[in-house]
Amino acid sequence: MYVFENRFAGKTMLITGGTSGIGKAACLRAAAEGAFVVVVGRNAERGQAVVDEIVQKGGKAIFLAADVTREEAVQALFAEIDAKVGPLDIAINNAGVVGHGERIDEMPTEEWNRVINTNLNGIFFCCREEAKRMIARGQGGAIVNVGSVTGLTGFYRSSAYVTSKHAVNGLTKAMANDLAPFNIRVNSVNPANTATPLTAASAQEIQQKIQAAMAAGKSLEEAKAETMIGGKTTALLKRSSTPEEQVGAILYLASDDAGYVTGVPFATDGGWTAY
C-alpha cells in the first residue's frame, strides 16, 4: 500500500461500511496518512478489530456502530460523533449491499426495498447529516459516495442494484450543486468487480444458482443465462480490482489534490464503460 505521508494530518474522516472490503482498506490507508478515522459499521467485533489495527500502527480511530438504513440510527450516530469526535472534514459513504440476481418480473418487493434502503436511503441519511454539519462549521469539506459501474450502465438481473447506484450518482451531482457555495465538494467512485468479501459472497450465490438450475435439467449455458449478469463480464484490464486500488481513487477525491473536482461520477471500472 502506497502512503502519502501526512496527507490527511489534522483531518477527521468518517467511513461507513468500514469493517471490511473497500471500507476497511480506506480506513487503514486514511489513518496511515494522518486522518483521525471514524469507522462505522454494524459489526462491533470487526469494527473494533479495524480500530485496533490502526492504533497498533500508530494511527488514531474510533468505532461507532450504526445501521445506516434506519434514519433514527443515523441521527443517533451523528449525535454521538458530535459528542465524542467533533467536526468532520471528510465523509466516505461506502456502506452497501448487492442484489440477489432476480429478473424484473421476479423481483420481490422485500428484495427491492432491502437494496434501495441500504444503497440509496442509507447514503442519503448520512449525506444529509454530513452536509448540515459541514455547512454549519463553515470550513468546507469533501464527501465521496461509493457507487458502482452499474450506476453508469445497465446490467442483467440487477434492477434494484442498478437503480440504487444510478440514484447515488444522481444524488452526488445534485449535492454538488447544493453544496458548492459552501466549498463542500461531492463526488462518487464507481467500481467494477472488486475482490471483497461482498463480491465473493455474491459469486458464491451465483454458482449455487447455476448448480441448482443444472440439477433441474438445464444445460450449463441455460443455467448461466438464467443466473449471471449478461453481456460482457470483465473490464478492459481483464481482472478484478483490489480494494486498495479503489481506495486510491476515493482518497484522491477526498484530498486537497482534488480541490477543483466536484459533481463527478468517477469511473474506477478498469475500462468497463469505455466500450
Q: Which residues are catalytic?
A: 161
Backbone angles phi, psi at 63, to 5 degrees: -105, 135
The Cβ of residue 142 has, within 10 Å, a number of other Cβ atoms equal to 27
Residue 110: count other Cβ atoms within 10 Å of its Cβ: 7
Torsion sign (Cα): 219, 221, 224, 226: negative
State how far the Cα of 38 lies from the Cα of 31, in Å rounded to an integer.
Answer: 10
Residues 27, 43: Cα–Cα separation, whole Å: 15
75 vs 231: CA distance, rounded Å: 41
**186 and 172 Cβ atoms separated by less than 8 Å:** yes
For residues 198 and 41, give the distance between their C-alpha atoms in angstroms, rounded to a whole number: 14
